[in-house]
Amino acid sequence: MTQKRSELVQGTLDLLILKVVALEPLHGYGIAQRIQAVSKDVLLVQQGSLYPALHRLERKGFLKPEWRESGNGPMAKVYSVTPEGRKQLKEEVEHWQRYAGAVALVLEA
């Protein structure tokens, strides 16, 4: 899983993380892989972006961590989404769709 340049648009990383973790609890490394896989290699999450984002979301109470055996190597910090996190996810999805729709309006003008 080679890490290349990704150029994530600022503000969307939290949304992406909350979404994939809401579907299934995952550890950080797995979150990055999942986002990359589902987006067909378009979205590449750097570790230096990922871990600060996870700590941010944890600090805000949107994610809850739990240490577990990963089975293949070091211990894994598995995150699940809290109820507040699901609420936040809902809001961020709506904001994104509203925003992307507005940008589309301008591009179609």
Partner DNA sequence: CATACTAGATAGGCTCTCTAGGTATGACGC
Partner DNA sequence: GCGTCATACCTAGAGAGCCTATCTAGTATG
The footprint of DNA (CB under 7 A) covers 1, 5-8, 10-14, 27-30, 45-49, 51-56, 70-78
- Which stretch, 3-11, 53-61, 69-77, 80-88, contacts a copy of itself (CB under 8 A)? 3-11
C-alpha angle 57-16-36 in degrees, rounded to nearest 5: 125
Q: How far is the CB of 33 from a copy of itself (least distance, A)?
A: 13
User: What letter represents residue 45's amino acid?
Assistant: V
Q: How many CA atoms lie within 13 A of 34 on its CB side?
A: 18
| Range 9-28, binding a copy of itself (CB under 8 A) | 9-12, 15-16, 19-20, 23
CB 53 within 8 A of CB 39: no
User: What is the rounded distance in angstroms from the CA atom of residue 81 to the CA atom of residue 63?
Assistant: 5
Would you tell me which residues interact with a copy of itself (CB under 8 A)?
Answer: 7, 9-12, 15-16, 19-20, 23, 35, 38-40, 42-43, 93, 95-96, 98-107, 109
